[in-house]
Amino acid sequence: MFEVERGGDATFHGPGQLVGYPIIDLKRHRQDLHWFLRQLEEALIRTVSEYGISGERSSGYTGVWTKGRKIASIGVHARDWVTWHGFALNVVTDLSYFDLIVPCGIQGVEMTSISKEISTRSDAAPVSLSVESVGDLASSAFAEVFDLAPVDVSAGELEVATTGSYEKG
């Protein structure tokens, strides 16, 4: 377990989740963390809607829900209006991990995933579901919500951008 500076009590990041930590300079958008949280929710709601899932907000809580079950958790932090930390969207997640914690400090919350929601629908057509395919949809939704243009980068370009060096191993 690791302690970090962001909202909520406990969260889980693991296999089968799309974890995104958007770094956004809110001085270029809107200096309002509540607005930013609602925008994150909106991008994730649009993402799950691509799978026929009705994403929604839950009054008094941050994150994305569907039919009373939580499908995405959000916890952010900002310094000088630049955000870090972000979200975890359950795609093909083993939900039993959540039995070990009180997710986001919410007693009695039921966690769900895109795969679980699809599997419970009788009208669901077979869907090829992967964290990568959901990530592509989420990237487009974030670009739309924040009025940004997504840019594909190779692993090498990303490493150079974040560390200043790249070693092919």
Determine the angle formed by the axes of helices 33-49 and 131-146, rounding to 10 degrees: 130
**Model pLDDT for residues 126-139, shown as the tens digit of each residue:** 677 999 999 999 99
Decide: 127 and 51 in contact? Cβ < 8 Å: yes
pLDDT band, residue 1 (cuts 50/70/90) = very low
pLDDT band, residue 6 (cuts 50/70/90) = very low
Q: Determine which one of 37, 104, 138, 141 is catalytic.
A: 104
Please, which residues bridge with residue 82 across strands?
A: 25, 79
pTM to 2 decimal places: 0.82
Residue 80: active-site member: no
Domains along the chain with CATH numbers: 17-163 (3.30.930.10)
